[in-house]
Chain A
Amino acid sequence: MTRQPGTKGLIFNEPNVWDKSREGRCAISLPKADVDRVPLEPALTGDTPDLPQLSELDVVRHYTRLSQWNFGVDSGMYPLGSCTMKYNPKTNEVQAARQGFAGAHPLAGEAFSQGALQLMYDLEKYLAEITGFAGMTLQPAAGAHGELAGMLIIHAYHAKQGRQRSKIIIPDTAHGTNPASATLCGYKSVNLASGKKGVLEPEAVAAVMDEDTAGIMITNPNTLGLFERNIKEICDIVHAKGGLVYGDGANMNAIMGIVKPGKVGIDVLHLNLHKTFSTPHGGGGPGSGPVGVVEKLIPFLPIPRIEKDLDTFRFVTECPDSIGRLHTFYGHFGVMIKAYAYILSMGAKGLLDVSRLAVLNANYIKESLKGTLNLPYDMPCMHECVFNDAHQKKHHITTMDMAKRLLDYGFHPPTVYFPLVVEGAFMVEPTETESKEDIDQFIQAVKAIAKEAETTPEKLTQAPVLPKVGRLDEVAAARKPCLRG
């Protein structure tokens, strides 16, 4: 048997920084003040902030130790379905740290920011090319914010047509944030069950689509990891009643270079740069949720827009139909640099390979594990596959137990209990960045855990045992949250 990545090791306890603090200890030498001290107006001052006083070594050990408690994609496979936890190449960080970008100031003005503006302008063009849209904004701060931007655009479009609509169709395989974004725009969600094969059926859409419905929000590939093969027909049905189609592009990693959503009838789409375009994710940094639109929706994009006159780039704010500003300045610029670096280093052929390999890897896992775990929708998948715990139920082992046990084997657990259409879902997305050897190791780990479920189930119910902390009491944390240290 292959050796599994997880093993025991020395991990350090670490108190919080205030407990380590000692009066007068300091990690930096401030330069001598070269201006006279001037007392502040009392109205401008308050209590001294309670900052910890630490030496440089205290600080370095503190963060090094905390990082050792953590599990990141730099330490192991992170097959978190629906989240595309791919490896983020270090060149992205190098480019973002370049002096000209890192030192750029958003108030420097257009004349001193031409390079930054060009990067944003070009990135909009690249993303528009990849997705097949006529216009793009980089402003939204993350995926759900992009969704909100997209829905505000749809709302503004209907208002401009002279008659607002009241409802929006949301399939059960959509992302959970979709109904929230629609509700913020005042739309009532109409839930739609997917068909027996895990994809939407055009007849079902036709049955609920009417002239009071603003449109539909579709995640494609959907959260079962399946491609909505009826997408064109569904778009036609929605368009025929005057509605618009919102595409949740969170799963774009499966179709780059293969499908252009803007060419199959989607009107608005958000992307997650922090997923598909390889920028740090989750605790690793802010997100970015650019939104692409078809030609007729360009007037509604947020301001400022970036335009190019000859060789000069400038911000444009005179857009009377715009939904307005969505973020301070121009969004998360640092994230844009990393995504731009990624697109340029991969090239068109590279991005196509990304999607092909992401889909191949997921199908390899699906085929390898379908005898071990139950596979509710047994058909070719896209970038992720969804199993559940039906085979393990007779041993009283749940998806949660298996997920926790994976930590002992050295793998981050997959997404669990989502999507809701699969009871006890165990949703694996390997991404393209894992090698066959690492994927094989993961497959072996899941098989070994399934064996343990039969022979030594207590190993699962007590898991994890190797991480610094064991199984957390999620119920107590939710019922009696402790929100301060």
Chain B
Amino acid sequence: MKEINDLNLPEDVKYTKDHEWAKFEKDTVTIGINDYAQDQLGEIVFVELPEVGDAFSAEDEFGSVESVKAVSEMYMPISGEVVAVNENLEDAPELVNEDCYQGGWIIKIKPSDPTEMDGLMDKTAYLEMLKG
């Protein structure tokens, strides 16, 4: 497993305490799990996705990732309606391990209140939390 200093944590996304990332672009927010989460889970064998049109509040469970060790729930960083899910993950869940910020994204949502993004952590704050 990676040391904290070896984690890939981009500057241009926001983080949650449950190790999701969220990136705001134009009208949508793309959501996935971050490098720490995929590294801790180990090789991911299944991703349970919500359906397009599902609406969730912040911190609601929207799906789960399953590795050979465990099943982990994923929680919404902010509130919104699902506008796209990464269908590639159905056949290739390993994308989450290989490329969690690009090819391994999980869902895209239309946020109900984009200002909720301000409540999420930036890289510095997230690293602080990890170091505890």
Contact = CB atoms under 8 A, between A and B. Distances in A.
A479 interface: yes
B68 interface: yes
Contacts of B68: 474-475, 478
Most buried by B among A393, A417, A423, A475: A475
Interface string A414-441: 0001101001000000000000000000
Nearest to A478: B45
Interface string A391-425: 00100000000000000000000000110100100
A479 B69 contact: no
B70 A475 contact: no
B70 A479 contact: no
A420 B73 CA distance: 12
Interface string B50-75: 00000000000000001011100000
B104 interface: no
A478 B70 contact: no
Interface string B26-54: 00000000000000100101100000000
Nearest to A400: B69
Given A479-B93, A479-B94, A417 B70 contact: yes
Contacts of B1: 393
Max chain A C-beta neighbours (<10 A), residue from B40, B46, B70: B70
B94 A417 contact: no
Contacts of A418: 70
Nearest to B94: A479
A420 B69 CA distance: 9
A417 to B, nearest CB: 4
A417 B41 CA distance: 11
A474 B93 CA distance: 14
A478 B93 CA distance: 11
Contacts of A393: 1
B33 to A, nearest CB: 16
Q: Which interface class (under 10, 10 to 19, 20 to 34, 35 or more) fits B?
A: 10 to 19
B93 A417 contact: no
Nearest to B40: A423
Nearest to A191: B73
Nearest to B72: A420
A162 to B, nearest CB: 30
A473 B66 CA distance: 16
Contacts of B40: 423
Contact of A420 (B43, B70, B94): B70
A474 B44 CA distance: 11
A420 B40 CA distance: 12
Nearest to A417: B69
Contact of B45 (A420, A423, A479): A479
A393 B40 CA distance: 13
Interface in A184-208: none
A348 B122 CA distance: 61
Contacts of B46: 478
A398 to B, nearest CB: 8
Contacts of A423: 40
A223 to B, nearest CB: 13
A470 to B, nearest CB: 16
B93 to A, nearest CB: 7
Contacts of A417: 69-70
Interface string B1-26: 10000000000000000000000000
Contacts of B94: 479
Counting chain A CB atoms within 10 Å of each CB, the highest count among B43, B45, B69 belongs to B69
Nearest to A424: B69
A460 to B, nearest CB: 16
Contacts of B70: 417-418, 420
Contacts of B43: 475
B45 A475 contact: yes
A479 B93 CA distance: 8
Contacts of A475: 43, 45, 68
17 contacts: A393-B1, A417-B69, A417-B70, A418-B70, A420-B70, A423-B40, A474-B68, A475-B43, A475-B45, A475-B68, A478-B45, A478-B46, A478-B66, A478-B68, A479-B45, A479-B93, A479-B94
Interface of A: 393, 417-418, 420, 423, 474-475, 478-479
- List of 8 A-B pairs having minimum Cβ-Cβ separation, nearest first: A478-B45, A474-B68, A475-B43, A417-B69, A479-B45, A475-B68, A417-B70, A420-B70
Given A417-B70, A474-B68, A478-B68, 11 more contacts: A393-B1, A418-B70, A423-B40, A475-B43, A475-B45, A475-B68, A478-B45, A478-B46, A478-B66, A479-B93, A479-B94
